[in-house]
Structure 1
Amino acid sequence: MTGSEDRPSFRLAYVPGVTPDKWARIWNERLPDVPLTLTQVPAAGADGVLLDGDADAGLVRLPVDRTRLSAIPLYTETTVVVIPKDHLVTAADEVTAEDLADEIVLHPLDDVLGWEERPPGRPALERPATTADAVELVAAGIGVLLMPLSLARLHHRKDLTYRTVTDAPQSGVALSWPEDAHTDRVEDFIGIVRGRTVNSTRGRQPDPAPARRKAAAGKQQSGKQQTGKQQTGKQQTGGARRGGGTPRKKSGSGGGRGKPRRR
């Protein structure tokens, strides 16, 4: 860690489909004096944004350049196929890649699924430039499109629907930042995405002042209790002295004088 963050705000980049709202809300509650700046960037350009210093951290899609970037995987998304609502595939709740063998499967240039070769099915004559362009082609009946569930929701249309593809590659989302820029603010955000409480001792060191005050209060209370015990002991000792000693024997048949004898 390099120490305290000097910038007046924390700049977080995020790729399409990722929703940082929950984490942003927690940030604003915990660090109200440090504004959080959110910037959406293309998935393919996220590494460059971080390495160029245009963002302090980013919610990106894996893989990332692990030689220069650190990354904490957060979750893996379900892959779906986007189809027209009247398509035959809608008869099933989920499909396999083999079920799409006869379909024209669009493969946009900004695809994030990382196919080893190419998607299943028949390829289109040209690759669409963007996922948004590919969605328009699906709506026009040109083909079908595989993508992460969050992107299918982002590009939702009333005339389209989707079904889960059980054996397709999946897209992982991670929090990433430059290895040489692991600042206190980055550690703060790591704590938020990992669900740490505000008083967690992991990550940044907590303010020692409250702990010192608590310890001092504990010592003071302990001293009062010890003083009280000493005073109680003195009272008990004094009572023993006043009421103690060897008791006198009462006069009676065995311990005192008898009646005077007659002469």
Structure 2
Amino acid sequence: MSTTETASLFDNLETLSTTQLLAGMNQLDQTVPLAVQKALPQLEALIEATVARLREGGRLFYIGAGTSGRLGILDASECPPTFGVPQGLVVGLIAGGDSAIRKAVENAEDDAEQAWRDLSAHDINAKDVVVGIAASGRTPYVIGGLEQARQHGLTTGCIVCNAGSKVAAAAEFPVEVVTGPEFVTGSTRMKAGTAQKLALNMLSTATMIRLGRVKGNKMVDMQLTNAKLVDRGERMLMDELGIEQDKAAELLQRHGSVRAALAAHNGQ
């Protein structure tokens, strides 16, 4: 039995008070960053491979089912507004298609052929990277997708929460974040989901930094799509250039991004 399916360390949950329930969940959640820490060397190898492929013009694809698939879609959807990359550079695919984002599609994860069909719809090629996300490490949709991708010469990685899984065996660059039993037995949207979110944060953020999408510690390529982000951009320019807000606002409006405004001001 996989460790994510083993019995919870807590029992008789229905008899516990809200205070006790929260304390128990929080106690287990504190173990997740330590599990991620142990997987950092594996994550580093995957990031280095991803950076290399994206520099060659490749793309990053996430494939997963259920919570894992939704986490991949979340991470992919946040890359364009955060780092200013084009739509389609990072793509999240979920078993069952877009309708499965909001509502479970029964048995979709059991089709070992569908992931490659989903990837093929995006004209997948050997420059691309496919990362499978599966807490259990045994999801057929993910295993089949990784196997097909590897056979076609693509770089493959995965994020799983059990050791020695079939998903990890199918990936060239496996990342195994072993989170152990859940508070509610088998509910991998909890600790395992948190671990996957942390790993995905690291994968996409470190990749984008390595690709030059961050300057100093600032998101200079972020899309200025609302008032909060415009204000953030103005403050970046004020801090970087030592100018007043009205001047920063004028620069940002004229040039459309923090990076472009900095380059124009510095005569680049």
- Do Structure 1 and Structure 2 share a fold, with TM-score over 0.5? no
More helix, by proportion = 2
Q: TM-score, normalised by structure 2?
A: 0.29
More strand, by proportion = 1
Q: Which has the larger radius of gyration?
A: 1
